[in-house]
Amino acid sequence: MKLKYLVIHCTATPEGRNVTADDVDMWHRGAKRHDDGSATFLGRRMPVAELPNHFLTLPSGKKVRADQTNGNGWRRRGYSRIWLLDGTEVQTAYYNNDGWVQNDEMTNGAAGYNAQSRHVCYVGGTEQNNIKIAKDTRTQEQHKAMADYCIKTRRQHPHIEVIGHNDLNPSKACPSFDAKAWFSEIWRKQTRFVNTAS
């Protein structure tokens, strides 16, 4: 399908907690155990006893045995980009940037919208001492890296809508700030700067 949304997420982890792209990937694609003695791993149900025979390749390239993971059991990654606390951008899923979402480029982020979305995420999003309280915890480095990426993506795909997860699912607090308003403001500022500079 045609790429329609750039959806911003947060990891919903406490302010200042260091989380890696590998951590996030294991939360999403790590094995999910069920009460009946089975597990779901990479979207496939199997007996728990079979898990040691399977491996998960993380964004860093490291491989871990399936029985040493614990997650949602998803087949696909949750995001294609993750911004760490220091603003480092980690690409976690491949896409060719042609404006279409092919099946092998799709990530899980918002049910019903994944085939037309690119999902990106920053580390953080909750109060330092209470993960149930949403808070915009983006560092200055994350702000800058995210702004640069979103502006670049909008220039490449002028039709794309930059939104938050909560714009697609209002029951979610993610990404813990008004992504639509934030991007609208930075886009307006950079457009005004470009126009006055020329």
Q: What is the pLDDT of residues 149-195, one digit of tens each?
A: 999 999 999 999 999 999 999 999 999 999 999 999 999 987 765 55
Confidence of residue 69 (pLDDT cuts 50, 70, 90): very high
- Residue 197 pLDDT level (bands cut at 50, 70, 90): low
The structure's pTM equals: 0.93
* Domains of the chain with bracketed CATH: 5-13+76-197 (3.40.80.10), 31-68 (no CATH)
Tell me the average pLDDT of the chain: 94
Burial of 111 by CB count in 10 Å (0-12 exposed, 13-18 middle, 19+ buried)?
Answer: exposed
CA–CA distance, 156 with 104 (Å, rounded to integer): 20
pLDDT at 130: 87
Average of per-residue pLDDT across 58-83: 96
Apex 54 CA angle, 38 and 20, nearest 5? 100
Neighbours of 54 (CB within 10 A): 16
The one-letter amino acid at 14: P
How far is residue 133's CA from residue 131's CA, in Å, rounded to a whole number? 5
| Cα dist from 95 to 24, 45, 80, 179, 195, whole Å | 19, 27, 8, 22, 31
Question: pLDDT digit string (tens) for 25-47?
Answer: 999 999 999 999 999 999 999 99
